[in-house]
Amino acid sequence: MVFNIVLAANLIFLIFFVGVPKKLHLFEILFCSMLTVFLQGTFMAIIILNYKTIQVNPHLFYVWSFVFNRFLLYPLLITWLMDLYLSVRSLGSKITLTLIISSVMVGIEYISNWLKIIHLAPPWKVWWSYAEWLLLIFVLYLFLLWFRKILKKEMIIR
């Protein structure tokens, strides 16, 4: 049941993401999603293996629910945020969008905890989740700015 909910949520967002008009180039989408997987993969290694503050439920379907969220839902959400950044001009709007999307991701983390997909073990705190996602978004944004320069230089985007 839990896996079905997670899979449905992932597919609904994937279909939405594919359909929604985007300003990002295909290469930027690939760049953002793959870099998100790498950065959060490294972060997860530290948190799961060293600090053990996030524990994954060993049941097969829960593991796959965790994998789907980490490798599909979160990268797509962050990539969508990067796309939204291109649509808004003011810093205030960008900060608002960042707070909304990071709150959604923190919410998904806590729903996963409630659904027993993961166990957020003490001393895990809500602000750790916010710090995790805000830092990732900030680093990704800086890398994206650098990558856009290369795309412009190589005449992929203008």
Partner 1 sequence: MNVLELPKNFDYNEWMIIISLIATYTFAFRLPKRFPQTITILIVLFSFSLEKSTDLILEYPPYTLYYLNDSTLFELSDFFTCFLYPVFGYILLHYYDKWNIRGISNFFFILAGSIFGTLFEWITVLAHVFEYTGWKLEYSFTVYLLVISLYIVFFNFVKKFFIRANLKNINDLP
Which residues of the chain form contacts with partner 1 (CB under 8 A)? 25-27, 30-31, 33-35, 37-38, 41-42, 44-46, 48-51, 55-58, 63, 67, 70-71, 147, 150-151, 153-158
Minimum distance from residue 61 beta carbon to partner 1 (Å):
12
42 versus 93: smaller Cβ distance to partner 1: 42
Is the Cβ–Cβ distance between 87 and 122 less than 8 Å? Answer: no
Tell me if 8 sits within 8 A of 69, measured CB to CB. Answer: no
User: Considering beta carbons, is residue 49 or 91 the nearer one to partner 1?
Assistant: 49
- Euclidean distance between CA atoms 9 and 154, whole angstroms: 37
Kindly state the smallest distance separating residue 139's Cβ from partner 1, in Å.
14
Nearer to partner 1 (CB atom), residue 17 or residue 31: 31
Cβ nearer to partner 1, comparing 68 with 85:
68
Exposed, middle or buried, 137 (CB in 10 Å: 0-12/13-18/19+)?
buried
Closest CA relative to residue 73, chosen from 5, 143, 144: 5
